[in-house]
């Protein structure tokens, strides 16, 4: 990927049409597995500077066996990104560049995507600030050595979290440690294991950490708000069972391949 982003304010109409066309293709392909799809990302907001990419959040009834079906629609599978239970795909042709985020119905991450989109759309001051931020960081998209994400993506994290707080997002989410803020939080636990490291969120706020070793055993599980402990323990157990079932590597691979986690495509 070129390190210089091309920001365009004329992407909305084209990307909206791409979203509608791809939604029909996916709905016909998946049948009863299809729940809903939403146009997310910067190209889903009129007058917002953006890369010429169409981001689609697709919700399905069950993630099992969904990868091959979506690949049959011309998509390339690229792993989980930094969110467990989210499959990420891309499709690149002469006339469209698509990021497809596939989750099960009701995933709170999708609610976060939509709240952010709607807030930016409804608040001109926030949109203007986001545009200025994008302009200032647009040339820093290539990941540095040993860094999973490009600075363009990382630099937007604080802004996105502030907007999600203003929008009232309180979804309980779980992510692999990726962003600077997540790394800083995880380092409090000084994990020395080669493992999956995850953080727990309540809305935009990190409230806990989990470290899982190569044998898929939980080494560290800490959460600040104890009323959510059972919720996140259930998610971790499901994740561990998924890894055992699919026999995927449990090591997070940075800038090497797509075994577990690639990069995070935010708005």
Query: 197 is written with which tokens?
Result: 């490291």
CA distances from 118 to 20, 103, 159, 171 (A): 19, 20, 15, 16
d(CA 231, CA 146): 32
27/13 Cα distance (integer angstroms): 21
pTM reported for the whole predicted model: 0.86
User: How far is 5 from 205, CA to CA, in rounded Å?
Assistant: 29
Task: Please give the chain's pLDDT, 267 residues, in tens.
Answer: 343 556 777 689 999 999 999 999 999 999 999 999 999 999 999 999 888 899 999 999 999 889 999 999 999 999 887 899 999 999 999 889 999 999 999 999 999 999 999 999 999 999 999 999 988 887 655 545 444 455 666 778 889 999 999 999 999 999 999 888 898 999 988 766 567 899 999 999 999 999 998 888 999 999 999 999 999 999 999 999 988 887 544 333 333 333 333 333 333
Cβ neighbours of residue 194 closer than 8 Å, sequence gap 6 or more:
213, 214, 251
State the CB neighbour count (10 A cutoff) for residue 219. 16
- As a 3-state breakdown, the chain gives helix, strand, coil percent values, each rounded to 5, of 40, 20, 40
Task: Measure the CA–CA gap between 130 and 85, rounded to whole angstroms.
Answer: 29
**Closest C-alpha among 49, 113, 50, 51 to residue 81:** 113
CA distance 267 to 254: 21
- Total residues found in the chain within this entry: 267
CA distances from 247 to 19, 215, 260 (A): 33, 12, 11
Angle at 143 between CA 19 and CA 139, to 5 degrees: 75
- The domain segmentation of the chain, as residue ranges, is 1-168, 170-255
- Other C-beta atoms closer than 10 Å to the C-beta of 81 total 22
Buried b (16+ CB within 10 A) or exposed e, 91-107: beeeebbbbbbbbbeeb
* CATH superfamily, domain at 1-168: Beta Polymerase, domain 2 (3.30.460.10)
Q: CB–CB of 245/258 below 8 Å?
A: no
Q: Which two three-digit tokens encode residue 19?
A: 């979203």
């Amino acid at each position: 990927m070129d390190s210089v982003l091309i920001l365009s304010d004329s992407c909305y109409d084209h990307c909206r049409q791409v979203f509608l066309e791809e939604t029909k293709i996916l709905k016909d392909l998946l049948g009863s597995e299809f729940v809903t799809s939403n146009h997310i990302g910067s190209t889903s907001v009129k007058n917002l500077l953006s890369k010429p990419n169409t981001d689609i959040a697709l919700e399905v009834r069950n993630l099992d066996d969904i990868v091959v079906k979506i690949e049959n629609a011309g998509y390339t599978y690229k792993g989980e990104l930094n969110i467990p239970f989210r499959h990420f795909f891309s499709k690149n042709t002469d006339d469209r560049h698509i990021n497809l985020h596939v989750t099960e119905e009701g995933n709170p991450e999708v609610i976060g995507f939509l709240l952010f989109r709607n807030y930016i759309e409804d608040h001109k001051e926030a949109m203007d600030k986001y545009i200025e931020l994008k302009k200032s960081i647009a040339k820093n998209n290539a990941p540095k050595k040993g860094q999973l994400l490009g600075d363009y993506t990382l630099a937007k994290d604080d802004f996105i979290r502030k907007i999600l707080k203003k929008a009232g997002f309180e979804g309980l989410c779980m992510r692999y440690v990726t962003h600077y803020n997540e790394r800083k939080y995880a380092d409090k636990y000084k994990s020395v294991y080669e493992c999956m490291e995850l953080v727990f969120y309540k809305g935009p706020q990190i409230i806990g950490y989990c470290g899982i070793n190569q044998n898929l055993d939980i080494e560290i599980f800490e959460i600040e708000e104890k009323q959510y402990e059972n919720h996140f323990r259930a998610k971790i157990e499901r994740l561990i069972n998924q890894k055992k079932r699919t026999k995927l590597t449990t090591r997070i691979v940075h800038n090497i391949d797509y075994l577990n986690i690639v990069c995070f495509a935010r708005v």
